Structure 1
Amino acid sequence: MPVYQRPTLKRGEYKNFELGRHSAVIKKVKLAKTTTDKDKFIIIVKGKEGESGLYHLTFDTDFSELNMNYILASIEDNGYDIPKLDFGYNEETASFLEGKSVYIRVALSDWGGEEKPTLTEFLNEEEFEAEE
């Protein structure tokens, strides 16, 4: 059981990741739909300092497979074996991703006219260590 640490954020308060690269953990993967009715995963990522971030992995796009493979490479580079699964839009894939350590990059993105730190991509270990 983890050691008790009094919460410093109010309920519902959100702490963004700082810009740059981070080690993190995939806490939850939700199956959802885009506004154009495409399948997507909403991937909730947590950092070591209580940060949170979201990543939307949309399926049936030109980059879906490549983005999934970067997520899997990041997981593999954190010491996990990648099983032989159909890594598509399904509960089995979502369950596999949950609880895995990953490397991420956070950059500024436009959210309704406001620039906010956003999880933009998953990194493999070589990319993670190469950045300063």
Structure 2
Amino acid sequence: MSLWRCAPSLPVGTSGCDGSIPLVTDLVASPNGIESLTLGDGLVEARSYDLGGRITSLDVAGLYGYDYLYVPADGSRFREIHDRYSAFGDVAFTFDSLDRLVEMSRIATPGEKTTYAYDLDGNRTRKTTPVEEVE
């Protein structure tokens, strides 16, 4: 399977658009999701899944890659995302009892975290980053 886009000078839907620029080619899918694909620039993206169909790893041509850990083991939310090529890309997530994201932090720099607050209706009311507080 392939996905295409028009040349920049021909917007999608324009008469004469021949779809000459590939966005994605060689797409391979399984019951769990997309296993691999080739991006328009030729880079190959590969994905792995666990038995529950959750993505466990993603790698793009050895340039960047991530491993995903879930908590609880049968849950669908991420606990951590590990960057295979840079420890500074590792991120940990904390959720409250209502499964709302309340904290996100870089594992390599635990003091640098982003926190979230919610009202009684579950609407996010505040986001605080290491640099600023955003209401």
The TM-score bracket by the shorter chain reads under 0.3
More strand by share: 2
Which structure carries more relative contact order (alpha carbon 8 Å, separation 6+)? 1
More helix by share: 1
| TM-score normalised over the length of structure 2 | 0.26
